[in-house]
Structure 1
């Protein structure tokens, strides 16, 4: 058993300023207030203990791409994000031919099943997306929603496909949403030109997430509120890329103030994350990164981000003015609920995974603990 104290403990309901956490193996054994029960307890010397972050939308990092179908790259990207506090994540795959996506899913399944990794599974961001709102998705590989193709990808993923983004206005989209729900795969709305009614219908049929709200979707207008207001009004989880580029800080704050349980911070990070400005690719398309912003070389469209979850949380507090416990819930508790992982991770509570991040007083990562083990 390991006992940690000396840092404020952030829970979804409060911040315990004087308390301790005991971990036993890979689990949290107990949480207490006041002085720690063990004389050999580890004094963290200030700052905050928060649950490790869960990123449900990430394409890569450290020069590595989750869509590479290369096990070394997949592992390297996942470990890079773990060093920034991400204890659980989905490997997001951009639009590609179905056979290529199957190869990528199989590699991710191998790693999820066999490696010491924060990967919880895969997220298909396509190929059933809108041509009008494809953003940085390769339009050459977009295809109509097809239940048989979806089931083929489910089969090859061996239970590790956790989420798929779909444009609900496309013919056949509703059937894929229902098939996803039946297969235990989260259906998300995104890269869509759907009307309010079309989005609302998809939510009734089982869609439960809005992929990077506002980005890659019909904009919110007073006579045509589209999928943005349908998502907010319905209470489904709303991803926000809180990098100061994809949305204004006031938008992140607005989502949280409407209903803090809906806000899910994501990175949408690509391979360029942690690598600096330069030339990269996403889904085979050239991407230029300048001043940390990733855009398609051909059109200037935003092509993911170079964000990490620790920065997203820090920005939520410092730039957006959210309480720390709300920002942490948006990065941990809420995404855990999206994935059906609330009984295993996403909060500091007895019996849950000992996946913790020690932040200093400026909310910079000092240490990361996953499965009860401090990461190098």
Structure 2
């Protein structure tokens, strides 16, 4: 039987009240109703006291846990598509991945392009624009460019021949990338000569700068942060290991010499980060932890041969390896799996686990006023979860519209309606 839930433009002006649910709001789980109108979460008090009306539709949520939609700021592809190499099928790749990740609770993401020739950036960057999500897929927040301005010594799964330095500062960046207006985040190695000037220039354009793929020490990391860098790309991976006399970029989590705290990405797939390291990071700086998938083309497919940028990747079990090596090359994990790993391995609460995929990435990207919470006035991007056992995504909503329902999820049926139109999705 179809679910009777908001379905988009024809519901403009209608007010929806979700009852019999629990909300993640204000850092805790609260028993409350969720009110939605015109793609936003609204405060019900003015509806009652000023407008003096009832909701047009009241929907019973069967005691589901409702949280903000998940945000993934580092994803290289999935379902057989690689954003850095599938240039001829780029729009198809974006469409398939944006649609596919709805089932994992992701409502917004940053398509990530790994180190590539300048010609690749010039073809890709103008074609991937920021888009609002809906039934066709999750919202695109802008591109994450991971390279080519990184350390050759900490290249990971990035091709050495395309790694660059800042020969002419920001001018080199513009020459390599071409257009920057669709870019939301750039990962660079902060120890590169000229990095601080480049960071300042990128941040002045509203681009989030992340330190990563770096052989730099703590001093270079602190200099980068004090010039505007605010993120660390996949902490512990592709950087100097923590050392008690020079903690490297990991030391930024506790540094007293930076102007503002940093956020940092963690790949909680059970492969990239040992549970003990995950616990250390969380207990050191819990409010900065951002779960990322770093997923590549094999995500959603399983074992076999796949592509990541300029490389072939072999997936064995749960590991994605550069072909013929033991070098990890992205992951095949989904965001809901990351949250489950994080909760289990770090011993954190459900709220802490979910905030690492919602509130924290929204803060890192400067969009907390729009996404990452269920606060009044924010976008109505939210996820219904079953928390009786391991967390499971039941329904995903974008802009107040149901865009995904699990096959075994309870139908969302209205218990009260004040208008005659049919409000259903297939």
**Contact 1:112/1:160 (CA < 8 Å) preserved in 2?**
no
Cα gap change, 1:289/1:116 in structure 2, threshold over 3 Å: closer, same or farther? closer
Distance in 2, matches of 1:83 and 1:232, equals 36
Distance in 1, matches of 2:344 and 2:25, equals 19
Which position in structure 1 is the counterpart of 2:274?
A: 248
Q: Give the alignment of 1:200-211 within 5 angstroms.
A: 200-211=222-233
Cα gap change, 1:102/1:179 in structure 2, threshold over 3 Å: closer, same or farther? same
The more displaced of 183-192 and 227-236 is 227-236
Q: Give the alignment of 1:192-341 within 5 angstroms.
A: 192-233=214-255, 234=258, 235-341=261-367
Q: Give the alignment of 1:1-376 within 5 angstroms.
A: 1-16=15-30, 18-30=31-43, 40-67=57-84, 68-69=86-87, 70-109=90-129, 117-145=138-166, 146-152=169-175, 156-157=179-180, 159-233=181-255, 234=258, 235-361=261-387, 362-376=390-404
Q: CA deviation at 1:40?
A: 4.6
CA displacement, residues 126-164 of structure 1 (integer Å, 9 cap, x when unaligned): 00000000000111110112411323567624x220110
Query: 5+ unaligned residues in a row in structure 1: which ranges?
Result: none
**Contact 2:130/2:141 (CA < 8 Å) preserved in 1?**
no
User: SS of the residue aligned with 1:322?
Assistant: coil
State the structure with bigger RCO (CA 8 A, min sep 6), 1 or 2: 2
Q: CA deviation at 1:62?
A: 1.1
**Contact 1:200/1:231 (CA < 8 Å) preserved in 2?**
no
Cα gap change, 1:354/1:138 in structure 2, threshold over 3 Å: closer, same or farther? same
**Contact 1:123/1:162 (CA < 8 Å) preserved in 2?**
yes
Distance in 1, matches of 2:354 and 2:301, equals 26
Q: Which structure would you say has the larger Rg?
A: 2
Distance in 1, matches of 2:130 and 2:335, equals 25
Distance in 1, matches of 2:130 and 2:370, equals 21
User: SS of the residue aligned with 1:319?
Assistant: helix
Distance in 1, matches of 2:184 and 2:293, equals 17
Which position in structure 1 is the counterpart of 2:422?
A: none
Cα gap change, 1:31/1:277 in structure 2, threshold over 3 Å: closer, same or farther? farther
CA displacement, residues 34-90 of structure 1 (integer Å, 9 cap, x when unaligned): xxx759521111231010011111111111122223111112112211221111110
Q: CA deviation at 1:257?
A: 2.1
**Contact 1:31/1:350 (CA < 8 Å) preserved in 2?**
no
**Contact 2:98/2:137 (CA < 8 Å) preserved in 1?**
no
The more displaced of 209-218 and 284-293 is 284-293
TM-score (norm 2): 0.83
What's the C-alpha RMSD, in Å, of the aligned pairs?
2.0
**Contact 1:130/1:192 (CA < 8 Å) preserved in 2?**
yes
Cα gap change, 1:168/1:39 in structure 2, threshold over 3 Å: closer, same or farther? closer
Distance in 1, matches of 2:155 and 2:380, equals 39
**Contact 1:5/1:21 (CA < 8 Å) preserved in 2?**
yes
CA displacement, residues 2-54 of structure 1 (integer Å, 9 cap, x when unaligned): 111222211242110x211011021111369xxxx759521111231010011
Distance in 1, matches of 2:370 and 2:131, equals 20
**Contact 2:133/2:398 (CA < 8 Å) preserved in 1?**
no
Cα gap change, 1:152/1:370 in structure 2, threshold over 3 Å: closer, same or farther? farther
Q: CA deviation at 1:231?
A: 4.2
Distance in 1, matches of 2:188 and 2:39, equals 36
Cα gap change, 1:47/1:290 in structure 2, threshold over 3 Å: closer, same or farther? same
**When the two structures are aligned, how many residues end up with a matched partner?**
370
User: SS of the residue aligned with 1:46?
Assistant: strand
